[in-house]
Amino acid sequence: MSLSRREFLKSSAAASAAAAIGMNVPAELEASANAAENGWRWDKAACRFCGTGCGIMMATKNGKIVAVKGDPAAPVNRGLNCIKGYFNAKIMYGADRLTQPLLRVDNNGNFDKKGKFAPVSWQRAFDEMEVHIKKALKASGPEGVAVFASGQYTVMEGYAAQKMMKGGFRSNAIDPNARHCMASAVVGFYQTFGIDEPSGCYDDIELTDTVVSWGSNMAEMHPILWSRVTDRKLSDPDRVKVVNMSTYRHRTSDLADIEIIFTPNTDLAMWNYIAREIVYNNPDAIDWDFLKKNIIFAASPVNMGYGMRRAGEPSVMPVRADGSAGKYNAKEMETYNHEMVHVVSENEAPALEPYGYKAGDEMVNKPAGLKHWEISFEEYKKFLAPYTLDYVAKVSKGDPDEDIEEFKKKLQMLADLYIEKGRKVVSFWTMGMNQHTRGTWVNTLSYNVHFMLNKQALPGSGAFSLTGQPSACGTAREVGTFCHRLPADMMVKNPKHRKKTEDRWKIPHGTLNPVGNQHIMKIHRDIEDGVVKFAWVNVCNAYQDSANATHWIKAAREMDNFIVTSDGYPGISAMVSDLVLPSAMIYEKWGAYGNAERRTQHWRQQVLPVGDAMSDTWQWMELSKRFTVNDLWGAYTLRNGKKLADVRADAEKMGYTKDTTMYEILYANEEAKSYKIDLNAFPQKGYDNSDCSGDSRNVIGGDGEVVKGCGFMVHEYLFEEYAWFGRGHGHDLAPFTTYHKVRGLKWPVVDGKETQWRFNAKYDPYAAAAVAKSGNGSTHAFYGPLAKALTQGDLMGIKDKNKKSLKNKAKIFARPYMEPPEVPDAEYDTWLCTGRVLEHWHSGTMTMRVPELFRAVPEALCYMHPQTAKDKGLKQGELCWVESRRGKVKARVETRGRNRPPRSLVFVPWFDEKVFINKVCLDATCPQSKQTDYKKCAIKLYKA
């Protein structure tokens, strides 16, 4: 049978589509498809993009990926893909794919920070890294070596990076771009439940009666989940209700029964309004039996600032008479000054009155950390008093053209949906609630409402944080590649956690650094302050994805430091760097991801990497060969005066010598070598393994020799060692080989069975055991161990320092509405919101190189209301300037597009490096989670 390319595509696609929906395929069409696919090898994998965690089927032939389709057996997506998912193969074959290391050099080939990029060997690349890491350690100690990590690391890559950074370099200055996307959700989980990650799962969608999307354009950001929401809505349109909460209209609006357009930051006020409606006007809706058995009430400081630079830091010194300070101009300092002192506004005053503040008062901000204490229900009720319908509607209404009475009706309808007895409700959110200067607060407020109504951790009901990145859960959170974390919810500051990790890693007690405060924005600031001298960008685009980007790029290019980027393509971070390393992309290596519903998924290496590219795991292991016990495990004094002990003598007692390398200790130890390469056994049979066995490319590695691989199954070793930390502690993972037989499993996996609803004794074996032990007859046990003993007090502070146990209980928090540090004024009169679009992923490094996706959306547009354009003298399709106190960019005006803001706001996505919107954004963060607020700053618009 002879087929043209067009016939082949049509027959293969038609057969796949028919199979996905369970339709019988005509014999002739099936025969054509089979002929077209002759010689193809199909295998399962996970999608490279968002945190939904779709399963895909991938076909390879002659060493290249030739087709991708949705996996009909995958429970997440059931054979469907979004538009990006269908192009998982093409992201790997862009014309400017990086294929060899590039170093900035002078005319003589010597490293020169002002030089031009030239190809170098892997050996030369690691030579330079070794020199500059040792220089950084000498100048600044472990705090001088940093890594911009990623929620797109595979589980094994993240674990390998963490071992070398924290166990080898003794540096906690490793923090993922996941800090930007879900850190507020994490701290919200910790403070509320004592353990990270959602209680529910995607099955809630088919079981619920109500979907409320809070600051999440699910239709574009989680399109497969939105297809399931749509299916649920259409299956019972009268009963099922969809509510869209947003600061502007978008594609999620199209399905909504109710749409509430609100002013940025006022989600805090609206959650408290719903809680007030329950407590004051519908007290019979409160499930007091559930609350008394499972919940306490808590409060925390309100004067904690906005996560910006504080007075006295090196780069904001000296302060000048014109208002500028250090490296920051006077305009920038207008906003930064709010970090120290904030004047309470008229809108904030009612919400802050229970704390003793009134309009015009100066609130002196102090670092508050995660401090909180238990309060009574009566104190919580007093806290809720200001959040009347009139007050909340006044501060929250986001569309200046909407009638206030209509807006009030919507708020009341929203509250009624939550309160209605017997109605199941799921609250979904993503960046709108997470990228927020009070992101931790608003996350905790969501659980308040669900807890009071006993609509949490039940099939079809619960507050559910959706994750943005493919393994922000599985790697950043569960592996613990944050600066303050260790695997399985352990913390670097906890001596018991450090000891447990040191014992498992077989390193001396006292090796691990207890100070974990170099979050991703602090790493940028530490580079600008001259503390961090070496920084390595892994699986992210740190210089495009960080707010106030001009400062960080200038610091990287002009100061005495050495910046390295490992990537598949030359994005902005690569261009900013001194050394660029070519990384193997997702299907060119073995890997695993963990999605937003706690589902861990594995895949095998499908093809060889292009050129001389190698995986990030290999890069970390290769680098570790350059550093010995003597190099890294001596004494250090940290900036805060804390001393790290010299553990070299203890290392010798453990059988190491001063010349034993970190590679031998952390990666190629005896346990690791027990994981054998067996090319005749599942799952290795028939698949390449460049990290472990080398490959036919004969890449010349870091030692100047052909890469033969490590000689053992390092992926299985790294996964099993990591999984050890969680087994028996509520984070149980299945064995490595099991994941290659299934389409993922939701942890905790106990006795081979996944868990759908955590904390619910009917579904979660850990909760069942806790309930049985307590004997209190509860249906739930919130068994997370963190912050489960609290002092007592009221809204104003702690009154009794004696701590009371809260074992198996969760918390309802009193947390008020507050404005962000920068709001529109006479000069900067418009809100700016940033985010993504359906067709592109993050900074566009991959998707902008897919011709079909590029043609669909070739540039980032400035979406605005037609009246806004008219008022500013702008026209559809023209270029305009978008300018803040920090910088400006040109963007094309769009008044008729998919995103439809009110007159008070514009939306500009951040995927386009030519419309570098993060130069405009403010680097304010939630002071508790350290997550950047990209959703609101003040800008002005004018014709370009």
Q: How confident is the model at residue 13 (pLDDT cuts 50, 70, 90)?
A: low
Q: What is the pLDDT of residue 930?
A: 98
pLDDT for the residue 17: 55
Q: Does the pLDDT of residue 541 top 50, yes or no?
A: yes
The percentage of residues in the chain with a pLDDT greater than 90, rounded to a whole number, is 96
Based on its alpha-carbon atoms, the radius of gyration of the chain, rounded to whole angstroms, reads 27
CA 741 to chain centre: 28
pLDDT single digits (tens) 58-73: 999 999 999 999 999 9
Residue 477 token pair: 């959170």
Catalytic site residue from 468, 568, 702, 793: 468
Q: For residue 292, how many other CB atoms are within 10 A of its CB?
A: 11
Which of 74, 73, 76, 71 lies closest to 201 in space, CA to CA? 76
pLDDT tens figures, 857-867? 999 999 999 99
pLDDT at 8 over 60: no
Tell whether pTM > 0.85: yes
The answer to whether 81 touches 50, Cβ cutoff 8 Å, is: no
Write down the H helix ranges in 76-217.
122-140, 155-162, 179-193, 204-207
Answer yes or no: 200 catalytic: no
Residue 28 pLDDT > 80: no
Tell me phi and psi for residue 856, to 5 degrees: -65, -45
Using a 10 angstrom Cβ sphere, with 0-12 exposed, 13-18 middle and 19 or more buried, the burial of residue 443 is buried
Q: What is the pLDDT of residues 610-646, one digit of tens each?
A: 999 999 999 999 999 999 999 999 999 999 999 999 9
For residue 32, the model assigns a pLDDT of: 65
The confidence score (pLDDT) of residue 35 equals 73
Residue 855 has pLDDT above 60, yes or no: yes
| Closest among 474, 5, 436 to 196, alpha carbons compared | 474
Choose the catalytic residue: 54, 58, 129, 182: 182
Specify the pLDDT at position 638. Answer: 98
Quickly count: other Cβ atoms within 10 Å of residue 501's Cβ. 24
Mean pLDDT of 550-563: 98
Q: Choose the catalytic residue: 164, 165, 431, 880.
A: 431
* Residues 713-727, mean pLDDT to the nearest whole number: 98
Name the active-site residue from 54, 57, 79, 84.
84
pLDDT at position 1 over 50? no
- Please give the Cα distance from 140 to 531 (Å, whole number): 6
Q: Which position among 162, 191, 469, 601 bears the catalytic label?
A: 469
Print the SS3 string covering 423-491.
CCEEEEECHHHHCCCCHHHHHHHHHHHHHHCCCCCECCEEEEECCCCCCHHHHHHHHHCCCCEECCCEE
Q: How confident is the model at residue 27 (pLDDT cuts 50, 70, 90)?
A: confident
Q: pLDDT tens for residues 737-749?
A: 999 999 999 999 9
Our answer to whether residue 756 is catalytic in this structure is no
Q: Among 9-13, 522-526, 634-638, which is the least confidently predicted range?
A: 9-13
Confidence grade of residue 19 (pLDDT, cut at 50, 70, 90): low
Instruction: Determine whether 863 is exposed, middle or buried from the number of CB atoms within 10 Å of its CB (0-12, 13-18, 19+).
Output: buried
Catalytic residue status for 469? yes
- Checking if the pLDDT of 5 tops 80, the result is no
Cα–Cα distance, 617 to 590 (Å, whole number):
10
Which of the following is catalytic: 58, 156, 181, 621?
Answer: 181
- Taking only the tens place, the pLDDT of each residue in 450-501 is 999 999 999 999 999 999 899 999 999 999 999 999 999 999 999 999 999 9
Indicate if the pLDDT at residue 893 is higher than 60: yes
Average pLDDT rounded to a whole number, residues 687-692: 98
Integer CA distances (angstroms), 253 to 185, 256, 325, 895, 905, in order: 24, 5, 44, 17, 17
pLDDT number for residue 26: 74
Examine the pLDDT at 2 and tell me if it is beyond 50.
no
3 has a pLDDT exceeding 50: no
332 pLDDT more than 60? yes
**Confidence class of residue 12 from pLDDT cuts 50, 70 and 90?**
low
pLDDT tens per residue across span 763-780: 999 999 999 999 999 999
Q: Is position 181 annotated as part of the catalytic site?
A: yes
Pairwise CA distance, residues 196 & 484, whole Å: 14
